[in-house]
Structure 1
C-alpha cells in the first residue's frame, strides 16, 4: 500500500499543460426518435463554447476542458434540457445522445425545462420504478468489479445474493424473475459460470466499456416487456467513434486483461466497436476459492451507416468459462466445493443480433431485430464415498449437460402522432430448442444393490417450444403537467398452450417545477423455471415430466411514487409498492415448498414433481432515494429499502421467503481533486457502505442428515431462521492522467473491498465428513485494482 500511494504522490508533482477533449453526439426527438437540427448545445460555465446540431442532429464540440463538464441544450419549440457529469478526457472522444421533448404549448411563454437528461429513463414509456444509469458509473462506484449487476444493487429496492454471485433480488423477488435484454431482445444469463435458467453468476460477461446509457426497471414495466415478474435490465450497446480510430488496453483483477478498438466504417457514417477480455482473478488469489477459474469474452457492435433501405447493424457477445474443483486442493471452508468430491464446470454464452431501422415518414420508424443465442453448461461431480478410509470409492455423483438455443424475432413500430400522443406497438417471437440432461445420486435409493445410491436421470429432454409476446402501448400528454401511459401485453407459452393478457398503465403529474407524483399498475406473467418444468418423475416405472402443464406465474404490481428536486443537483424519491403473486408451483400434498423460493443458487430443486399452480405470495415495501449528481467535485447516493416478502406453500402457512432481508441501506459518495500545475489530472476517493438484514434459511435436521448421509433440512420450519445482518465497507482510490501533448489518457485505481474484513455468512450446511453443521463465510477483505490506457 505504501508503494501505491508513493506512485500516486509522484504523479501529483508532474507538471502537465492544459489539455482538452472532444464532446460530440446527436440530438433527437424523444417521442419520434428522429434527429433534430438547429439545437444549440452550450458548455455550461465556459464562454463562447457552443455548437449547433446539423440536419442529421449531429454536433461536435472541440477544445472542451478535461474533467467533469455539463451541457445545456435549447431548441425553439422544445423544452430545454441538460446533460451533467460528462467525464471529458484527453484519450477518447465523448459520444452522447440527447433526447428532447416538444413543448406542450408552443405559445406558452413560460420557460420549461425537463431538467437533467439523465434524470429520466431512456424508454419514454417508463414512468415508475425506472432508473437510467451510465457505464461510467460502473467503473466509478467502489465495490463494483466492473459489473453492471453490482452497480444496480446500489439502487433502492435491489439487493445482491452475496459477495460470491451477482444475483439480483428486486423487491423481494427471486433472481429467476429477472429479464435481461441487450439491444432490444432477451438474452440468456450473460454471466460466466452460468447454469440453466439462472440469471446471475460470479463474474459478468457484459463489458461496461461497450455499454451505452441504459435502463433498469423494478416494477410495473411498460407493455413491451414480458416474461418477467422481478426486474428488467434493458441494456444498449454504444456505437463506435464514426470519425477517427481509438484504442484502449486495460488490466484489472476481475475483468482481467482487455483490448478494445473502435472507429469509422465506410462512407455512410458507419462505425465499429469491438473488445476482448481474458480473466485471471484466480492468479491474484481473489476468486474466493482455491480452484482456478478461467474465463474470457468478446463483444462487438458494428453499425453499417444509413442507406436508402435503412440502417443495419450487427452486435454480439461471446463468453466462455471453466473451473475444476479438486477435493485435495480445497479448503474445508471453501463455499463452492468439499474435500470429498471433485467438480468440473464449463459454461458458454453466445448472443448475436442483426438490427434494421427504417424511417417511415417524418415521425415514425420500424425497428426489426433477428437474434440467435446459445447457453451451454456442464457440471461433472465425482464423490469419494467412505472418504478417508480403506474402502474409499470414487463414483460419478452428478452429471449435468445442458444446451439451450433460441432464435428471436422482434419488430417494433414507433410513431409520434403529434406532440401529445405517441404510439408504440410490436411483437416478440422466441423459439427455444432445449437439450437438457441432469443425472444425480443425490437423495436416490440403492435399487441395484451395489451399496451406493443409484445415478438417476432426473432430466432428459429435447424440447422445442415458443414464447410469443405481442404488445401495444401509447403515451398521452393530457395536459402540460399530466402524462398517461397505457398499454396491453400478451404472452403465449406453447408448452402449456396458455395465453395471458396483461394490461399496463401509469401516470405522472407534475405538481410544480420541483415536485411530481406517479402511479403504475401492471399484470405480469412468467413461466416456472425450465429445470422445474422438465423434472422427471417415476410413474409406473416410466420417467414422466409431471410439471410441464404448470400455469404461468402471475404477478400484479402496484406502485405509488413521489419525486422532489430538493436543490440544484439534489433529488429525492419515495416509492411505495405492493406485489401480489399467484399461480406459483407448489406440491399437491401439504408442504412448505413453492417455486417462488427457487433461483438463488447454481441449481434448482431435483425432487419437486407433480406440482400444482396454487401457490401464492406477496412483496410490499417502501423505498427512499437521496441523490446528488456529480458537481463541485463530489457526488453522493443514499438508498433505503424497507420491505417484506412472504409466500404460502400447500400447507397454507405464511412464511418468510428466502429473499426477505427486511431492509437494505446503501451510502455511496466520492470526491475528485484536481492536481498538477494545470489541474487537468484527477485524484479521486470513493466509498460505499452497505448493510442489510440477513437472509432467511431453513435449518438443517442434523439427526436425519447423519442417518441419510446427505443434508436434510427441517422443511416443517422452512425459512424460519435468519442469518446475521450483512455489512460491508469499500474504499476506492483512483488517479486519472491526461496527456499534455497527444491523445493519451491513463487511469489507475485500487479498490479495497470489505475493508474491515467483516465476516458475512454464506451458508450453514451439513458437513458429510465431520457429521456436523458447518458455517461457510463469504469473501473477506479483497483488494481490487486496475489500469486503463486510452489512445
Structure 2
C-alpha cells in the first residue's frame, strides 16, 4: 500500500528539476467606504509582509502587478479610516478581483495608522474566538482540508482516537451542543452521515475550496448566534471572481470534486461545487465493516442590486448511503455488524441574505429552509429474509424555516446590533424498534411535531478613544410553543458581558460572563409511547452559565501567546430514564440519540485552563501549540454526587505547523496527544439474556458503575508534504498526507459478544442466556492519502 502512495510522489520530486517559468499575476479591485458604499481615493493597498502594493485612483480602483501565485493578506489604510488587514486570499491561475471595505475612524483625524496584526480583536468575543485562515485549511497535517478535523488543533477541542468520526467536543461539552453558520445562514450539520440529535459524522460536508475564513467560538458566543452551548462555527465563504472564470478539480482523501468560480454578469458572481465520494473504497481497504458513499453540492450567488443593496443566495445539499461490509470476517467485524444499521440520509439548506447599507446603519435579512430525511434499518444478524428479524426501522424528517432580521449601527466609539428571529420547525417520525429495559419492549409509533420559535437579541460594543479598553453588553431571549415551560421569553433570557483591557504594552486582560440556552433535540421532543402520548413534555431549554477570563500577549504582530480559564455550569440537561445517565453523554456513534424517555433533571459542570501559542511568518511559517487541562462532570440532580462525563479526557495537547520552502514546496507535521476517556463496564448478566441481546445486537452497560474505568492516553503524529506547479494559466498540485505515521495503537475495553449458542435452551424464553465471549479491541493504523489538484 505504501509503495502505491510513495511512487507517484517520487515522480513529483523528479518533475521539480524540470525548468518551468512560473507565471506572474495581478491583484486588482476597489476600496470603498463600508457604510456609504462610496469609493475611497488614494488609499494604500499593500500585500502584507511584502513591499508590493499600489494606491487607489480617484475612483477607488487599484492594481498590484507581477505577483507570484500564493496565499496572501492585503493591508489597506487611508486617512480617516481604520487600517484593514484582510483575511487570506488565494492567487492561483487568474487575476484576483476583490472589493475591500474600510470603516471610518473616530480617532484618526489627520494621520494614517499603518499597524496591523493577523490576530484580530473582537469586543463581543475577546476570549474563546479563533480565526482559521486559508493556509491552515489548505495544508493542515492529518486534516485533509476537513474543518471538523482542523479545529481539533485548537485549545479546548477534544476528539475520539477510536474510529473515523468528526465529533466536535468542546470544553467538556457534548457533540450536540454546537451550531454552524454559513455566511449568516444556519445549517443543521457540517458532516455527512450525521448522528441525528448530535453533530458528528465521518467526513465534512462543506467543500474547503469555497471557504474564505472560519470563526471558531469556544465561548462568548455572539448574541445573534443562538441555540449553542459549547461552540459556534461561523463560515465565511469566498466571493466569485468578477474578473475571470475558473475551474478546479481535486482528488482528495475521500472524494473527487469540481469547483467553478467566476461571474455571471457585471453585477453577479458565483461559486459552485460538486463532490462524489469514494470513501467506501478507503474504508474497505482499511477493513472497516461499514462502507459509506456520499454526494454533495454547494453554490453561492452574490448580486449587487444597486450601490447600497446586495443579495446572496446559498445552497448546500448532501446525499448519504452507508452499507454494511458483510463480507468481512473476524470477531471485531462481527461485533460491529451485529448492531450497526444501514443509513440513508438526504439533507439540504437553501438561504438568502439581503443587505442594505445606509451609511452608519446596515440592515440584514436572512431567510432559509433546512431539510433532513434520515432512515435507519437493522435486521438481526443482517438477515433480511424474514420480517421477524427486523429490530429497527426508523424514518424521520426534520424541516426548519427561519427568518432573522437585524440592524447594525455604528456610532463611532459605540456599535449597536439589534435583531429578532422567527422560525417554524416540523418534525415527523415513524419508528419500529425492539428494545430491552427490564423486559422486552417494542416501540411502534408515529409522531408529528409543528413548532413556532421566536427570539430577539441585542448587543452594544464600546471601544475607548485610546483603543485600550473594549466593553460589550448583550442579551438574547428565546421561546417556543412546545409547552408552557418554554413559551416565555423571560424564562430563557440570556445576558452576557465581555471586557478587554490593555494592561501594559501588548498584554491584554479579557473576560466574559454569560448565560446561554439550547432547545432539546427534536428526537427527544417528539418521542412518544405506543399509545401516542408525548413522553418528554417536561423538558426545558438546556441552560449553561459560562465564565471565562484570560491573558494574551502579542509580539511583533506575528506571535501571540494566550492563557484562558473557563468554567461552565449546566442545568436542565435531559436525563435518560432508562439508562440513568445524561443525554449529553451520548452522540458519538452512528444512528440517533434522544428518542427515549427523558427528564430535565441532570446538571453538569466543566472547568479548565487553556494555553495556546501561535506564530506566523508571512509566506513562510504557520505554527501553533495548544494545551488544555480540564474536568467535565455530570450528576443526576441537586442531591447527587458529580461523576466524570464521557468527555473528561483530562488533558489535550497539540503542536503542529507548516513551513513553506522555495519552489512551492511545503512540509507540515502535527503531534497530538489526548488523555484516556472514561468508560462504563458491561452488564454481563443483562447482556447475556437472549431477549436482551436480540433486541439491539450489542452488550448493555452497567450504569451503576458509570464511567468508573478509563482508557489509556493516546499520542499520534501526522505529516504532510505539498508541491504546487504553476505553468502559464494552469495550476497542478500534489500532496501526500500520512495520518498516525507512528502507527500508534489505542487499546479499548474488551467487547462482550454473544457466541449465538444458548446455554440453557430448556429454560423459559425470558430466562434463556447466550454463552458470551470477549473480543479484544485495539485501534490505530497509518492512513496514507495522496491528493491531486488541477485548476485552470
Flag whether TM exceeds 0.5 (same fold): yes
Call closer, same or farther: CA 1:531–1:393 in 2, change over 3 Å: closer
* Cα offset, 1:309, TM superposition: 7.7
How does 1:612-631 map onto structure 2 within 5 Å?
A: 612-631=599-618
Of the structure 1 ranges 701-710 and 166-175, higher mean CA displacement relative to structure 2 is found in: 701-710
Q: Of residues 64, 69, 72 in structure 1, which corresponds to 2:67?
A: 64
How does 1:193-592 map onto structure 2 within 5 Å?
A: 193-254=193-254, 256-268=255-267, 270-284=268-282, 285=284, 289-307=288-306, 310-329=309-328, 331-334=330-333, 337-338=336-337, 340=338, 343-360=341-358, 362-384=359-381, 395-417=389-411, 419-443=412-436, 453=440, 455-457=442-444, 460-480=446-466, 481-497=468-484, 498=486, 499=489, 500-537=492-529, 542-586=531-575, 592=580
The equivalent of 1:449 in structure 2 is none
Call closer, same or farther: CA 1:191–1:714 in 2, change over 3 Å: same
Call closer, same or farther: CA 1:415–1:762 in 2, change over 3 Å: farther
Call closer, same or farther: CA 1:560–1:124 in 2, change over 3 Å: closer
Of the structure 1 ranges 239-248 and 133-142, higher mean CA displacement relative to structure 2 is found in: 133-142
Unaligned residue ranges in structure 2 (runs of 5+): 756-770
* Cα offset, 1:226, TM superposition: 1.1
SS in 2 for 1:176: coil
SS in 2 for 1:175: coil
SS in 2 for 1:142: coil
Residues in 2 aligned to 1:58 and 1:488: alpha-carbon distance in whole angstroms: 40
Residues in 1 aligned to 2:150 and 2:568: alpha-carbon distance in whole angstroms: 24
* Cα offset, 1:732, TM superposition: 0.8
Residues in 2 aligned to 1:533 and 1:63: alpha-carbon distance in whole angstroms: 60
Residues in 2 aligned to 1:257 and 1:248: alpha-carbon distance in whole angstroms: 11
Contact 1:43 1:50 in 2 (8 A): no
Contact 1:38 1:54 in 2 (8 A): yes
* Cα offset, 1:396, TM superposition: 0.7
Call closer, same or farther: CA 1:329–1:503 in 2, change over 3 Å: same
The equivalent of 1:106 in structure 2 is 108
Unaligned residue ranges in structure 1 (runs of 5+): 447-452, 675-680
* Cα offset, 1:717, TM superposition: 1.4
SS in 2 for 1:464: strand
The equivalent of 2:677 in structure 1 is 695
Residues in 2 aligned to 1:646 and 1:379: alpha-carbon distance in whole angstroms: 31
* Cα offset, 1:596, TM superposition: 2.6
Q: Of residues 8, 24, 40 in structure 2, which corresponds to 1:4?
A: 8
* Cα offset, 1:344, TM superposition: 2.2
The equivalent of 1:774 in structure 2 is 775
Call closer, same or farther: CA 1:313–1:71 in 2, change over 3 Å: closer
* Cα offset, 1:83, TM superposition: 5.0
Of the structure 1 ranges 504-513 and 209-218, higher mean CA displacement relative to structure 2 is found in: 504-513
* Cα offset, 1:320, TM superposition: 0.4
Residues in 1 aligned to 2:37 and 2:424: alpha-carbon distance in whole angstroms: 30
Contact 1:335 1:778 in 2 (8 A): no
Call closer, same or farther: CA 1:180–1:341 in 2, change over 3 Å: closer
Residues in 2 aligned to 1:587 and 1:263: alpha-carbon distance in whole angstroms: 51
The equivalent of 1:450 in structure 2 is none
Call closer, same or farther: CA 1:103–1:660 in 2, change over 3 Å: same
Residues in 2 aligned to 1:165 and 1:565: alpha-carbon distance in whole angstroms: 35
SS in 1 for 2:281: helix
SS in 1 for 2:417: strand
Q: Of residues 712, 733, 746 in structure 2, which corresponds to 1:724?
A: 712
Call closer, same or farther: CA 1:84–1:320 in 2, change over 3 Å: closer
Residues in 2 aligned to 1:442 and 1:588: alpha-carbon distance in whole angstroms: 14
Call closer, same or farther: CA 1:35–1:667 in 2, change over 3 Å: farther
Contact 1:334 1:776 in 2 (8 A): no
Call closer, same or farther: CA 1:69–1:327 in 2, change over 3 Å: closer
Contact 2:510 2:549 in 1 (8 A): yes
Contact 1:326 1:341 in 2 (8 A): no
Contact 2:123 2:471 in 1 (8 A): no
Residues in 1 aligned to 2:37 and 2:479: alpha-carbon distance in whole angstroms: 30
Residues in 2 aligned to 1:58 and 1:522: alpha-carbon distance in whole angstroms: 44
Call closer, same or farther: CA 1:577–1:47 in 2, change over 3 Å: closer
Q: Of residues 49, 56, 67 in structure 2, which corresponds to 1:52?
A: 56
The equivalent of 2:766 in structure 1 is none
Contact 2:89 2:134 in 1 (8 A): no
Deviation per residue, 1:746-779 (Å, 9 max, x gap): 1100101111111135665432237234344445
Deviation per residue, 1:342-374 (Å, 9 max, x gap): 8421111100112211122x2212111211110
Of the structure 1 ranges 16-25 and 516-525, higher mean CA displacement relative to structure 2 is found in: 16-25
Contact 2:196 2:592 in 1 (8 A): no
Call closer, same or farther: CA 1:716–1:68 in 2, change over 3 Å: same
Call closer, same or farther: CA 1:789–1:18 in 2, change over 3 Å: closer
Call closer, same or farther: CA 1:744–1:734 in 2, change over 3 Å: same
* Cα offset, 1:672, TM superposition: 1.9
Contact 1:532 1:604 in 2 (8 A): no
Contact 1:333 1:777 in 2 (8 A): no
* Cα offset, 1:112, TM superposition: 4.8
TM-score by length of 1: 0.89
Residues in 2 aligned to 1:607 and 1:244: alpha-carbon distance in whole angstroms: 50
Residues in 2 aligned to 1:430 and 1:77: alpha-carbon distance in whole angstroms: 41
* Cα offset, 1:516, TM superposition: 1.2
Residues in 1 aligned to 2:615 and 2:259: alpha-carbon distance in whole angstroms: 32
Contact 1:384 1:392 in 2 (8 A): no
The equivalent of 1:42 in structure 2 is 46
Deviation per residue, 1:378-430 (Å, 9 max, x gap): 11101039x9xxx999611111111111111111211112x211111111222
Q: Of residues 707, 710, 735 in structure 1, which corresponds to 2:723?
A: 735
Residues in 1 aligned to 2:30 and 2:374: alpha-carbon distance in whole angstroms: 41
Q: Of residues 668, 671, 674 in structure 1, which corresponds to 2:659?
A: 671
